[in-house]
């Protein structure tokens, strides 16, 4: 069988992979973007050249192409409605790419792609229904229910970080709404919450652990926590910052009845601490039966999830059976 070419579009470069029908990556490389030539024009040229270098003929070996992009992606027509990082508005990605690559191309959101990768060969392969979160500088996600990707009528589902609500009232979101979980439970949001906590209360018991830091990140917070015998004062603030995310997860569990919550992204560097906080805190917001049955797991494919999921999406022509 021919291979699926996967492209994960980044801001300054893209990750490329050839994936077989079993989800195995056969080749992987990066392509730096050339903005003067054009992102897609440069991608096509460099991909063909790179494959040729390793003895793979693009025309003979590639069957279809899956492209994952950040932002709001209308999967049915392959249009990126809005992607701030790429400065794209109503960008006809599928049409433009097919005219260059001369192969069938399917386009989807990168969080949806990551979820499909984990569902196919990763941490969610034993489940039929999952709610997938990616928590990094922002918060996104995806839904797979009864074995099918729930991408919505336009491919916009899974934008969990935004949408307002009653999850928190401390920070207004960059999307313009108050109540979103991203400003407080994302990586930068957690660090911001800690800093504001100490600014508001310099005598807070946890503040002394950070007295030598002018600025700090969530990674620094976890390091300080681990290096100082896991003080409860730091844990308490972590739980407060993650509470909006936990509440959102509980809403998804109560509404959709998934088998598992799968978490990916930079925040998973917290490891078992993250899943312990979520599993404990979520019991306040879901009925006892759900609390007993729900599984919270860390994604396992790492940086390969989007590439593998894009291939799965293309392989199945939008429909996951």
Same fold for the pair 3-109+304-316 and 123-300: yes
CATH of domain 3-109+304-316: 3.30.420.40
For the stretch 122-153, pLDDT in tens is 999 999 999 999 999 999 999 999 999 998 87
Domain spans, the chain: 3-109+304-316, 123-300
Q: What is the DSSP string of 214-246?
A: SS--HHHHHHHHHHTT--HHHHHHHHHHHHHHH
For the stretch 210-232, pLDDT in tens is 998 989 999 999 999 999 999 99
Residue 320: is its pLDDT beyond 70? no
Least confident of 1-10, 12-21, 116-125, 284-293: 284-293
Which tokens sit at 80? 């990126």
Q: Which residue has the tokens 């807070």?
A: 204
At residue 38, the 3 state secondary structure works out as: coil
Q: Taking the C-alpha atoms of 174, 216, 249 and 293 in order, what is their torsion angle to the nearest 10 degrees?
A: 170
Q: What share of the chain is helix, strand, coil (3-state, %, to 5)?
A: 45, 25, 35
Residue 4: is its pLDDT beyond 80? yes
CATH architecture of 123-300: 2-Layer Sandwich (3.30)
Q: Whole-model pTM above 0.85?
A: yes
For the stretch 59-82, pLDDT in tens is 999 999 999 998 889 988 999 998
**CB 191 within 8 Å of CB 176:** no
Least confident of 114-128, 135-149, 280-294: 280-294
């Amino acid at each position: 069988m021919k291979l699926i070419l996967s492209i994960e579009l980044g801001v300054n470069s893209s990750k490329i992979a050839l994936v077989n029908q079993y989800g195995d990556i056969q080749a992987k490389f990066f392509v730096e973007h050339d903005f003067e030539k054009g992102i897609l024009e440069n991608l096509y040229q460099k991909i063909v050249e790179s494959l040729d270098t390793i003895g793979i003929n693009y025309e003979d070996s590639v069957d279809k192409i899956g492209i994952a992009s950040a932002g709001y992606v209308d999967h049915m027509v392959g249009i990126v409605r809005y992607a701030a990082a790429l400065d794209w508005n109503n960008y006809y990605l599928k049409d433009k790419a097919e005219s260059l690559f001369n192969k069938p191309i399917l386009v989807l959101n990168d969080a949806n792609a990551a979820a499909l990768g984990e569902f196919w060969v990763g941490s969610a392969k034993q489940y039929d229904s999952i709610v997938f979160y990616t928590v990094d500088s922002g918060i996104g996600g995806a839904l797979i229910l009864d074995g099918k990707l729930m991408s919505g009528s336009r491919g916009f589902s899974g934008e969990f970080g935004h949408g307002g609500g009653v999850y928190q009232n401390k920070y207004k979101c960059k999307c313009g709404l108050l109540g979103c979980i991203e400003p407080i439970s994302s990586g930068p949001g957690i660090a911001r919450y800690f800093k504001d906590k100490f600014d508001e209360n310099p005598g807070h018991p946890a503040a002394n652990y950070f007295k030598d830091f002018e600025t700090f990140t969530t990674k620094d917070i976890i390091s300080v926590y681990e290096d100082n015998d896991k003080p409860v004062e730091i844990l308490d603030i972590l739980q407060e910052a993650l509470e909006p995310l936990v509440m959102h997860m509980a809403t998804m569990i109560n509404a959709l009845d998934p088998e598992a919550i799968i978490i990916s992204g930079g925040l998973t560097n917290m490891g078992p601490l993250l899943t312990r906080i979520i599993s404990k805190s979520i019991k306040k917001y879901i009925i006892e039966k759900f609390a007993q049955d729900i599984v919270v797991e860390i994604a396992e494919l790492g940086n390969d999830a989007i590439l593998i999921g894009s291939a799965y999406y293309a392989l199945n022509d939008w429909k996951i059976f």
